[in-house]
Amino acid sequence: MSTHETETVHEAVRNNYAAIARANMHATPEASAAGCCAPSCCSSTQSFDVTTLATSIGYDASELSALPEGANMGLSCGNPTAIASLQPGEVVLDLGSGGGFDVFLAGPKVGPTGRVIGVDMTADMLALARKNTQTYREVTGLDNVEFRLGEIEHLPVADASVDVVISNCVLNLSPEKPQVWREIARVLKPGGRVAVSDLALLQPLPTAVAETLEALVGCVAGAPLVADTERMMREAGLVETALVPKPEYLQTMGRMERPLYQTIASHLPAGTTPADYITSLDISARKSLQAVR
């Protein structure tokens, strides 16, 4: 993909998520309905219950209730902090951290001796996350989270400085996925681990869906095939790779009758559903203890 094409995709995603962040600055259920990975990029008269979505994909309701207001925007497709089994004292990096949802959940798990760094390329999301940080500090008594502006293809993080990389429904938005996986491997300490929730394709999407920009910013058209995801991880030097399909996300989207889900379904061949093409994945791996040659 050319530099121009890459920036075109970045700009589309950045503009879309900036709009979501601005809507959620005032943190109402209606504002949360703007979430695209939720996905409801199209207008909807229905109220979108972000808590129902989060609990359906593995989040604990008691943890959600302690989050700063507006941090949960319904942008998740899994629970990477649960996959990661975070430990006190670890340094965690969240790629595409948005309003700080997973950062604020990870912070208490790593405790006062740990650190959680969120990276996002959208300035409005960073502003929302930093606004939420004050509430997080007041509720938890911890000062162990920070947010940095940057692209996940070029992380503003030092080599071999991170114990765990997490990400939630973000990597498939990147137009340069192999570069993202190389960056993940670069910042991880030897033996460090990956815990990502993301969308992937079980089979290629029909052209009518794949070429829809709405699907791209809704975390669908940019999703790679499951096998391609594993290949990119291994080529980046990651080992012990595991990719576990999680159908709960698509099932929840169908039950909630989200507009983007319905739009995708309307473009599919008769007798098929989005779940025949798309799955949420729990993705885990480690960085090899030995340098890749």
pLDDT in tens, 14-63: 876 677 667 767 554 444 444 444 434 433 334 456 766 666 666 776 67
**Average pLDDT over the chain, rounded to an integer:** 82
- The pLDDT tens digits of the residues spanning 55-104 come to 666 677 667 666 766 666 556 676 777 778 999 999 999 999 988 989 99
- Nearest of 185, 284, 181 to residue 241 by alpha carbon: 284
Residue ranges in the chain assigned as alpha helix (H):
3-24, 29-32, 50-56, 61-65, 80-84, 101-110, 123-140, 177-187, 207-210, 213-217, 226-235, 248-256, 259-267
Q: Is the predicted pLDDT of residue 290 greater than 60, yes or no?
A: yes
Q: How many CB atoms lie within 10 A of CB 252?
A: 21
Dist. CA 124–CA 145, nearest whole Å: 18
- Nearest of 114, 110, 78, 116 to residue 97 by alpha carbon: 116
What are the extents of the domains in the chain?
3-287
Residue 44 has a pLDDT of 35
- By percentage, how much of the chain surpasses pLDDT 70? 73
**Global pTM?**
0.82
Residue 60 has a pLDDT of 73
Higher local confidence (pLDDT), 188 or 64? 188
3-class DSSP assignment, residue 91: strand
CATH number of 3-287: 3.40.50.150
Q: What is the residue-wise DSSP string for 238-260?
A: EEEEEEEEETHHHHHHHHHT-HH
| Mean of pLDDT values over 168-196 | 95
- The pLDDT tens digits of the residues spanning 131-162 come to 999 999 999 999 999 999 999 999 999 999 99
Q: Contact, 287 vs 191, CB < 8 A?
A: yes
Contacts 24+ apart (CB under 8 A), 3-6: 5/175, 6/175, 6/176
Residue 30 has a pLDDT of 40
Q: Is the predicted pLDDT of residue 263 greater than 50, yes or no?
A: yes
Question: pLDDT grade, residue 189 (50/70/90)?
Answer: very high
Residue 11 has a pLDDT of 78
| Mean of pLDDT values over 204-225 | 73
Place of tokens 């005032």: 26
Question: pLDDT grade, residue 217 (50/70/90)?
Answer: low
Q: Is the predicted pLDDT of residue 120 greater than 80, yes or no?
A: yes
- By percentage, how much of the chain surpasses pLDDT 90? 49
Question: pLDDT grade, residue 261 (50/70/90)?
Answer: confident
| Mean of pLDDT values over 256-283 | 84
